[in-house]
């Protein structure tokens, strides 16, 4: 027995004829439906549409996940900005020009004066050798025309030896002076660091910066305050030594 075929249904919508047709095979499989619009066959596969809807649903979920991730990033950036603003308001920060602090301290001048006294004898020796060398050079230049070959050869030999001595004394003096200067400056720097730490702790600073700061306003520059504190510390230290001695 053949399945019954439904008759086409005519519908007029805006002067267009839409026909819904089901074939004998389509009766047993109603997922396949066929529409004819103005004589044009537009087939609709319902199973395909279902899969397509599923894929669209998946795409929407992926899109929503991306939107949520973007919102998380925005929230993180906002929180970071809030943290920075809180840091600016809540944290107490100071800046120190450490080089200026060291060179402005009385102890720096004392170190340099002490080194000058220490190396003064060697400096006088180098200057005396330099003067002897200049006098010999002047004598050779003046008497070169009347010197004999032997005398001229001996004078040139003395000249070269004096020149080596002058260079050696000058080089050794400069190297030894720099070495001692670095030693004494290192001691002074360590003392200054202790003073900065004590000052920061006593005045409730959260952070004190030194090298690498390009600009600091006067409101955060505490170099002069630390210098005053350092002078007080050294004065008390000297006074205590005098008292106990």
pLDDT of residue 11 exceeding 50, the answer is no
Burial (Cβ within 10 Å: 0-12, 13-18, ≥19) of residue 101: buried
Task: Supply the pLDDT for residue 18.
Answer: 40
pLDDT interval class at 176 (50, 70, 90)? very high
pLDDT digits (tens, 9 = 90+) for 27-71: 444 444 444 444 444 444 445 555 555 554 445 666 667 767 776
Extents of the domains making up the chain? 9-50, 93-244
Among 176, 191, 173, which residue's Cα sits nearest to residue 110? 191
**C-beta separation of 93 from 209 below 8 A:** yes
Task: Supply the pLDDT for residue 114.
Answer: 94
Task: Supply the pLDDT for residue 212.
Answer: 82
Higher pLDDT pick, 100 / 64: 100
| Percentage, residues of the chain above pLDDT 90 | 36
pLDDT interval class at 5 (50, 70, 90)? very low
pLDDT of residue 243 exceeding 90, the answer is no
Task: Supply the pLDDT for residue 211.
Answer: 82
Higher pLDDT pick, 234 / 225: 225
pLDDT interval class at 179 (50, 70, 90)? very high
Task: Supply the pLDDT for residue 44.
Answer: 45
Distance CA 120, CA 123 (A): 5
Q: Angle CA(155)–CA(159)–CA(162) in degrees, nearest 5?
A: 135
Token pair listed for 8 = 């086409």
Task: Supply the pLDDT for residue 128.
Answer: 94
pLDDT digits (tens, 9 = 90+) for 134-169: 998 988 888 878 888 888 888 889 989 999 999 999
**C-beta separation of 91 from 207 below 8 A:** yes
**C-beta separation of 230 from 115 below 8 A:** no
Which CATH number is 93-244 given?
Answer: 3.30.910.20
Task: Supply the pLDDT for residue 91.
Answer: 81
Arithmetic mean of pLDDT over the chain = 74
pLDDT of residue 17 exceeding 60, the answer is no
Scanning 45-148, the segments in alpha helix (DSSP H) are: 46-90, 98-104, 106-143
Distance CA 102, CA 205 (A): 21
Higher pLDDT pick, 241 / 186: 186
Distance CA 51, CA 45 (A): 10
Specify the pTM. 0.55
């Amino acid at each position: 027995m053949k399945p019954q075929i439904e008759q086409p249904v005519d519908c007029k919508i805006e002067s267009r004829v839409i026909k819904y047709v089901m074939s004998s095979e389509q009766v047993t499989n109603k997922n396949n439906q066929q529409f004819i619009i103005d004589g044009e066959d537009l087939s609709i596969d319902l199973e395909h549409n279902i899969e397509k809807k599923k894929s669209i649903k998946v795409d929407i979920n992926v899109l929503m996940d991306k939107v949520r991730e973007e919102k998380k990033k925005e929230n993180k950036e906002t929180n970071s900005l809030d943290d920075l603003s809180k840091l600016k308001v809540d944290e107490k920060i100071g800046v120190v020009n450490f080089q200026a602090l060291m060179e402005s301290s009385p102890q720096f001048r004392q170190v340099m004066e002490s080194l000058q006294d220490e190396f003064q004898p060697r400096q006088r020796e180098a200057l005396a050798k330099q003067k002897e060398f200049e006098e010999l050079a002047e004598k050779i230049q003046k008497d070169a025309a009347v010197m004999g070959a032997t005398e001229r050869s001996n004078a040139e030999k003395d000249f070269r030896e004096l020149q080596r001595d002058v260079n050696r004394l000058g080089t050794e003096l400069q190297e030894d002076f720099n070495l001692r200067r670095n030693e004494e400056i290192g001691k002074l720097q360590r003392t200054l660091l202790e003073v900065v730490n004590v000052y920061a702790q006593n005045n409730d600073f959260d952070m004190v910066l030194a090298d690498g700061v390009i600009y600091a306003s006067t409101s955060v520059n505490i170099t002069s305050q630390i210098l005053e504190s350092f002078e007080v510390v050294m004065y008390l230290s000297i006074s205590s030594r005098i008292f106990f001695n």
